[in-house]
Every structure is written in structure tokens, then in C-alpha cells.
Amino acid sequence: MSTPPHTVDAFVEAFLRELNVGQGVSLARSSVNDQALALARTVRHHLMARWLEAIATQRRSPVKAVGYLSAEYLLGRQLDNALLATDLLDVVREGLAACGLDLDTLRDAELEPGLGNGGLGRLAACFVDSLATMNVPCIGYGIRYEYGIFRQTFVDGRQVEQPDTWLTLGSPWEFPHPESAQQVDFAGYTETYVDDDGQERCRWVSGWHVVGVPYNYMVPGYRNGRVNTLRLWSARATKEFDLEIFNSGDYADAVRARTFAENITKVLYPEDSTPQGKELRLQQQYFFVACSLADYMFEVLPRDFDMTRLHERIVFQLNDTHPVIAVPEMMRLLVDVRKLSWDDAWAVTQKCFAYTCHTLLPEALEVWPVDLIGRLLPRHLEIIERINAEFLAEVRERFPGDELRVRRMSIISDYPERGVRMAHLATVAATKVNGVAALHSELLRDKVLPDFSEMWPERFTNVTNGVTPRRFLKQANPRLSDLVTEAIGDGWITDLDQLQGLEPLADDAEFRARFRAVKRSNKERLADLLRRRDGYELPVDSMLDVMVKRLHEYKRQSLKLLHVVSVYEQIVSGRVDPASVVPRTVVFGAKAAPGYRMAKETIHAINCVSAVVNDDPAVKGVLSVVFPSNYNVTLAESLIPAADLSEQISLAGKEASGTGNMKLALNGALTIGTDDGANVEIRELVGDDNFFLFGMLEPEVATLAEHYVPSRCYEEDDDLKRAIDLLSSGAFAGGDRTAFEPLVSNLLYEDRFMALADYRSYVDAQSRVDAAYRDPDAWARAAILNVARCGFFSSDRSMRDYIDRIWHTEPAPAGE
Ligand code: B1H
């Protein structure tokens, strides 16, 4: 198969054929959806030949591959990415115009696959993009959720979740392969038996099973001809279920059984950082890793492959603890199925896994009840118990007589109930354990897993996160990309350090003027979108102050809200002359987990404040607050390029890394931020003068935590008191004084993430922001330096670090 020619005529011909033959409609009678599907299919043809080639080469060649195991991939729209990778943008725009069609309209018809919650899922998408661009063989394994992250709507300012029906009109980017389905067992019991050569062995007699059908997605590298694969699994009822329907008197019951099986991949858990002990979630986790390991070990590798050499062909990266059940699953496959000895199997398994931790919040470390694992995966529980027994024997040998340490380190905890600590299991099994930013990796070593890092210091490492410059600069910000390319050439697209070449231009007045014009036109583009999408009037002349991320108390959207209320209060009370205020538009974008009460209260408060502020003539032209609903990758691509100020204000020591912080800085926003996560590295690189630092440092946080009384901050700071009093006064809730009671009480009497303690420092830093923004030219200079100095945050660099420090893989021979 060959790649179609890169001409407008060839495109038009292929597009019309797809429309007529693929969709079965004429151009004249086709709907936008018909056209969008036909367009996608036409574009994907350009990647097809390369894809087949990459798959064939990988089967033939012995190059070690990366198996990225992730419960989430937040991919964003596929069409733009494919146009970029194939360099077809101009051809397609022109070809469609010749057919009387508009590319942007068709683009907007695509619903993004929202198969992730936030940063962790988007990181996985950036990583597979980078690996393809770097020509490194990788299979991304995950789950094809029928409903991805919920669609957020606001009703009376409150979040209401709607199902994300991204598949209803069909997804042209996926390729189902039912012939490669895998069976996945659950429940039942284990028994010993004597096999043919007289050996006593164990086997698992399962209670029920489902099949996993893989759906392949193309992961194109940037104009390098490589296409890797993302393989997402979908659960189906097995033939036995069908037979049951046939035989059963109770048809409805049998159909229910089918639904039960297919429920496994029905919906993404809309949780972020607070996993709940949901059985279905454990089923999802096991389902996808069981499919993935069997797929790689028994389908991708030759049938007779010597499994003692498995680590020469694959390394599985565990994206947080969600796929960690893969560890006992690999042991089961090697010992029970392939009949390796336990010791040989463990030696290989330990070389095949590496583990990335993404959190510092203790409640986000998954612990599965032993009872649940025993019921759902009885053989895996036995395997975990044996791994633990051998591990604890090693601990006792290293630290004789230290039974407290043994209890702290045990994979199985006793309290509050018997549970399997998945982070411990991962750490015991992994060749390497990494955090996602320098500070996070340090805290991970010293505070989260100190006993483990003492025992195995060489096992711990850091890989600072990164973001793909293709999607988040080249594609999302075409105007800035063009300006950069005109100045330094286009090598930055695959070698982001080249942005350093912009440094001298920060001192070039003409370049600064052009940079400012780009920012402004990005704001205009955003204003157009928000007008159509949410009915907001975005003042394009004001500072665009952006806080976009999942809603979580540790991220402290409430602190940002207190700042907004303070500014508003000072103007309406007459203490500050509006003419002296730097005009600002504050943009929030955030989804709250549906069961997260305080997060939802915060959303409600932001919307209520927004409604009053935007309607008050006293602050017109000076302060406005916009909160477009349903923040997702697509919206991020319009918002980030328009931002002036990036809010990264988590309590120090709580945000593992952050990646929005990188995207915003790379697009020329200045950061106001705490000394947390990757902010630390951003500040080091861009320089103190080009970053607004505030707030306690992590050690201060740890000290204050011992005696923190938030209400004292309220009593002692007059501006804070006025802001909180105004919030409680009913002024933003039609006179209802109880409207924000849960939020306000939480801040005054609990404030686990110390928003009030950092308030003074934060508003002072905001005054420095205002002062800096008054000099637009100096601001532009600082913004350009942010762009020039953020090359480090390319996910290509992250991948290089994983390769050097963890995977030890190589790029595939090109075009073999
Ligand atoms: C991150 C998660 C997460 N850390 C549980 N942990 C989830 C945990 O559905 N769940 O149960 C979902 C997500 N997500 C984020 O990962 C960190 O908070 C960010 O700081 C980090 O940048 C990102 C990528 O490393």
C-alpha cells in the first residue's frame, strides 16, 4: 500500500469518493457530519501505509518497545493532529474550499475523545505523541470508555453532568479488531493439580469472563513517516452469554448479564486524586491490563518466544497505580500459563515494569481491600501474598528486629482493613520509580516512600513532565508559531530547546510589537469563540488572567476567588479608585468530580460572583470573570494562547507537577505561582524577574500544619476579612447569606490547604503583577523570555529522560 499524492486534485477526488462510497451520500445532500467523517477517512489514508509498515517492522525487528499502560488518554481532537503530522493542512483547506466547504466548520464537528480526567491523561497523550515523533516503538494500552469524562453544564451556576456521547456519530479514527479479542477471567477459585511432568501447579478456575476487543488508534509522528499504535480495549459479553440468552427462559435476565459484562468499559471514573473503592473500577483496571499483557506477550511476540528474555523486548511503564495489577498478572501468565519457575518469573517481571507516581496526597494512593481482590481475582491475591512474603523476608534480613518498619513497608496493610497498597506493590516490582517534577520526586523519596528509598536508593529517579509542542504550540497557536519560525526557523517543532534562539529578540522592539499583536489576535479569536459558545463578551483589551485545571481544594481555586472578591470589594466600597486598577478578565475552567462536594460548592461560588461582577457598572471595564463550562483539550487550545497570566497557586508540596503551567508559559503567559511542582523548575529557567512567586515553601507548610488556625488569618487581615464577609453577606446570592456557608466555614475552620495563610502573600504578588502589566512592552519582553526559556518542558525531553534513566530503549531503524 502506498501513500496517496499530496495534491489538491488528488485530495478532492479521494474526499468525494469517501463521501459517496464511504458515507453513501452525494456532496449536495451530505450533512456536516458526513463531510467530517469523509474528511477524516481521507486524511487517515495518508497515514495508513506508514502505520502498516511500522506494525510489520515491529513484529520483525528485535528493537525493544515501550508498553505504556494508562487508564487514561486525554487525546483531544484527532483531525488537527493528523493534518499537522501529514502536512496536509493547506491542501485540505484548498480542496474543501473547491468543494464549497469550510475546514473550520468540519473541524468543529469532531467531538474529542475525552478518555481521561486531567493532567495524568493528557500527559499520556503527550508522551505517545513524542515517542512517535522520536521514532521510538511504543504501544499505548488503555481503555475505550464508551462515555468519557462527563460534559459539564451549569444550571443556576451549579455543575450538572451530562453523559459524554462521543461515539454516537461514529469515530473515524478507530479500527476495531474483534479477531484479536482477548478473554479476561474474573472470580472463581484456585486449585492445585499435578501437570504432565509430575509437577504440582496452581490454576485459576474462574467464575465468569468477558472478552476485550481492541480498537486501534494511529499515533502519527510529526512528519517523520512513523505511526505508532494506541490500543484501547472494549469489553463484550462472550458467546456463553449469548448461549445463555438462547437457553434461558428468562430473556431479560440473560440480557442483563450481557449488560453487566459490557458495563466494564462503559464509563470513565470521573475522579481525580480521590479514588473510591469501586469494584467496577478494579474490574476496569484488571480488564485492560490483562488484555494488554496477553496481547503483547502472546500476539505481538512470536508464539514460541522465550519469556525469560521478555525484558529485552518490552518495558511496561505503569502510569500511576491504576495498572499495577499487571504485576501479579504477568507473574500468573509466566508461572501458571508458561510454566516458568517462580524465581525465573519474578526475575523477568522485575525487569519489565517501571512505575510513575503522580501524587503526594495520601488519599490518592490506591489501596484495594484484600476481600475484594480475593473475590474478584483469587489467584492474584495469592501471588501478591507470596511477593509480599518474600519481600518482607528481605526487609527483615536488611533491618533485623525492625518490625515497625516491616509493617510500614508491607504491601498488605492491616489497618483500617486489610488492603493491598498498590504503590508498595509497584515499588517492589519496578526497576525504577519516578516522580513527575524535581520537587515531587524529592518528596516522593523522603516523605511518601522513605523506607523504600532507604532500602533501594538507586531505584528512585525523577522525570519532569513535558507537553507536546506540536499540539500546544504549533497547532494551538499558529500565529505565534509563524512568528517564531520566521525568527529562528522551524527546527523548534521537534527540538524545543531551539526556542532559546528567541532570547535576543526579547530586546528587539519590533519583535515585541509583533509578539503583542499575536497575543491580541489570539484574544480576539478566543473572544469570538466564547461569544458563540457561552455568550460571554470578553474584553480583549484587559489582562487575561487564566486558571484552568481540575477543581480541587489543594489547587486552591478558592484563593483565586478570594482575590477577585477582594478587588471587587475594594472598588465598590470606594476604597480603591477604579481608574487606578489594571483591567483584568479572570478566566476559570474546571470540572469537579461529581461526588466532590466542596469542589462543586466552589464552582457555584465562582459562577455567582461572576454573574454579579460582570453585571455591576461600578467595575465595568475593570474586572470581569468568565467561567466557560466544559473545559477540555479543545477549549484549552483556544484559551492558552490568549493568556497573559497563568495561575499556578497550589499549596506548596501538593501539586505533583502540573502541565498546564508549562503550556501557558510556553505560549507566553507569565506565571503567578507557589514554589510547587514544576513551577519550581519553570521559575529557575525563566528567572525570578519573569515569574511572580508567592506563598509558603513546603517546609514552612509542614511546620504550620502543626498549629494552623485559619480563622486567625481572617481576624488579622482586614482585606481578607472584608472579602470573606462580602462573600458571606449574600451580595453574590440575591441576599441569601447561607449560599456559600459550606465553603466559607471550610475556609475559616478547616482550610486543609491553607488558602488563608497564603492570602496576603498572594494579593501582594498580584499587585506586583498589576505593576508589571502597566508597562506592556516590559511585559512582552518577559513573556518572550518565558517562551524562549521553556524548551525544557517539551515532552520530547521527558521521553529522552525516560529512555536514558529508565527504559534504555532505542529509536527504531528508520523506514525499515
Ligand atoms: C495526577 C492523578 C489522578 N495525579 C487518580 N494523580 C485519578 C489520580 O481517576 N483517578 O482515580 C485520576 C488522576 N492525576 C496529576 O498528574 C497531578 O495532580 C499533576 O500534578 C500532574 O501534572 C499530572 C501528570 O503527572
Name the CA dihedral angle for 291, 297, 303, 309, rounded to a multiple of 10 degrees.
-170
Q: What is the CA(376)–ligand 1 centre distance, in A?
A: 26
Place of cell 502573600: 761
Q: Whose CA is nearest to atom 14 of ligand 1?
A: 120
Q: What is the pLDDT of residue 245?
A: 58
How many whole angstroms from its chain centre is CA 816?
Answer: 33
d(CA 59, CA 757): 57
For residue range 336-348, list pLDDT tens digits in order.
999 999 999 999 9
pLDDT at 286 over 70: yes
Cβ atoms within 10 Å of 561's Cβ, excluding its own:
24
pLDDT band at 816 (very low <50, low <70, confident <90, very high): very low
Pair 529, 677 in one domain: yes
Q: Per the domain annotation, does 36 fall within a domain?
A: no
Q: Per the domain annotation, does 72 fall within a domain?
A: yes
- Residues forming beta bridges with residue 203, ordered by sequence position: 191
Q: Of the listed 231, 663, 683, 789, which one is catalytic?
A: 663
Q: What is the mean pLDDT of residues 13-38?
A: 96
Q: Per the domain annotation, does 807 fall within a domain?
A: no
452: helix, strand or coil: helix
Q: Judge if the beta carbon of residue 119 lies within 6 A of ligand 1.
A: yes
Q: What is the pLDDT of residue 4?
A: 83
Pair 680, 559 in one domain: yes
Q: What is the pLDDT of residue 812?
A: 83
Pair 161, 258 in one domain: yes
Q: Per the domain annotation, does 215 fall within a domain?
A: yes
Q: Of the listed 151, 424, 440, 555, which one is catalytic?
A: 555
> What percent of the chain lies above the pLDDT cut of 70?
97
Closest CA to 282 of 391, 351, 386, 380: 380
pLDDT at 155 over 90: yes
Q: Judge if the beta carbon of residue 161 lies within 6 A of ligand 1.
A: no
Q: What is the CA(664)–ligand 1 centre distance, in A?
A: 19
Pair 138, 282 in one domain: yes
Pair 458, 532 in one domain: no
Place of cell 518469573: 345
Residue 600 is among the residues annotated as catalytic for this protein: no
Pair 710, 614 in one domain: yes
Domain count along the chain: 2
For residue range 645-703, list pLDDT tens digits in order.
999 999 999 999 999 999 999 999 999 999 999 999 999 999 999 999 999 999 999 99
Pair 530, 447 in one domain: no
Q: What is the mean pLDDT of residues 771-789?
A: 98
Please state the atom number of ligand 1 nearest to the C-alpha of residue 281.
11
Q: What is the pLDDT of residue 448?
A: 96
Residue 432 is among the residues annotated as catalytic for this protein: no
H-run or E-run covering 772: helix 755-773
Q: Per the domain annotation, does 355 fall within a domain?
A: yes
Residue 663 is among the residues annotated as catalytic for this protein: yes
- The one-letter code for the residue type at 801 is D
Q: Judge if the beta carbon of residue 656 lies within 6 A of ligand 1.
A: yes
pLDDT at 568 over 80: yes
d(CA 420, CA 366): 8
Residue 659 is among the residues annotated as catalytic for this protein: yes
For residue range 656-668, list pLDDT tens digits in order.
999 999 999 999 9
Residue 550 is among the residues annotated as catalytic for this protein: yes
For residue range 752-769, list pLDDT tens digits in order.
999 999 999 999 999 999
> What percent of the chain lies above the pLDDT cut of 90?
90
d(CA 556, CA 751): 10
d(CA 726, CA 264): 47
**DSSP code of residue 161:** E
In this structure, what CATH number is given to the domain that contains residue 243? 3.40.50.2000
Q: What is the pLDDT of residue 415?
A: 86
How many whole angstroms from its chain centre is CA 388?
Answer: 31
Q: Judge if the beta carbon of residue 657 lies within 6 A of ligand 1.
A: yes
pLDDT at 362 over 90: no
Per 3-state DSSP, the chain is made up of helix, strand and coil in percentages (nearest 5) of 55, 15, 30
Residue 721 is among the residues annotated as catalytic for this protein: no
782: helix, strand or coil: helix
Q: Per the domain annotation, does 805 fall within a domain?
A: no
Q: What is the pLDDT of residue 3?
A: 80
Q: Per the domain annotation, does 470 fall within a domain?
A: no
Pair 416, 553 in one domain: no
d(CA 648, CA 438): 16
Pair 407, 541 in one domain: no
Q: What is the pLDDT of residue 259?
A: 82
**247-251, 464-468, 575-579, 711-715: which has the minimum mean pLDDT?**
247-251
Pair 312, 424 in one domain: yes
pLDDT band at 363 (very low <50, low <70, confident <90, very high): confident
Q: What is the pLDDT of residue 249?
A: 66
For residue range 578-606, list pLDDT tens digits in order.
999 999 999 999 999 999 999 999 999 99
Q: Judge if the beta carbon of residue 700 lies within 6 A of ligand 1.
A: no
Q: Which domain holds residue 262?
A: 62-76+112-462
Q: What is the pLDDT of residue 276?
A: 54
pLDDT at 256 over 90: no
For residue range 394-407, list pLDDT tens digits in order.
999 999 999 999 99
Q: What is the pLDDT of residue 160?
A: 98
H-run or E-run covering 214: strand 208-220
180 close to 219: Cβ distance less than 8 angstroms: no
pLDDT at 244 over 70: no
- The average confidence (pLDDT) of the chain is 95
For residue range 385-443, list pLDDT tens digits in order.
999 999 999 999 999 999 999 999 999 999 889 999 999 999 999 999 999 999 999 99
Pair 177, 241 in one domain: yes
Q: What is the pLDDT of residue 364?
A: 87
Cα distances (angstroms) measured from residue 318 to each of 322, 324, 352, 680:
8, 7, 10, 25
Q: Per the domain annotation, does 12 fall within a domain?
A: no
Cβ atoms within 10 Å of 805's Cβ, excluding its own:
14
- The answer for residues whose C-beta is within 8 angstroms of residue 108's C-beta and 6 or more apart is none
Pair 661, 774 in one domain: yes
For residue range 500-530, list pLDDT tens digits in order.
999 999 999 999 999 999 999 999 999 999 9
Q: Judge if the beta carbon of residue 608 lies within 6 A of ligand 1.
A: no
Q: Judge if the beta carbon of residue 795 lies within 6 A of ligand 1.
A: no
For residue range 200-224, list pLDDT tens digits in order.
999 999 999 999 999 999 999 999 9
pLDDT at 632 over 60: yes
Q: What is the pLDDT of residue 642?
A: 98
747 close to 710: Cβ distance less than 8 angstroms: yes
pLDDT at 270 over 70: yes
Q: Whose CA is nearest to atom 13 of ligand 1?
A: 272
Q: Whose CA is nearest to atom 22 of ligand 1?
A: 658
Q: Of the listed 311, 332, 549, 789, which one is catalytic?
A: 549
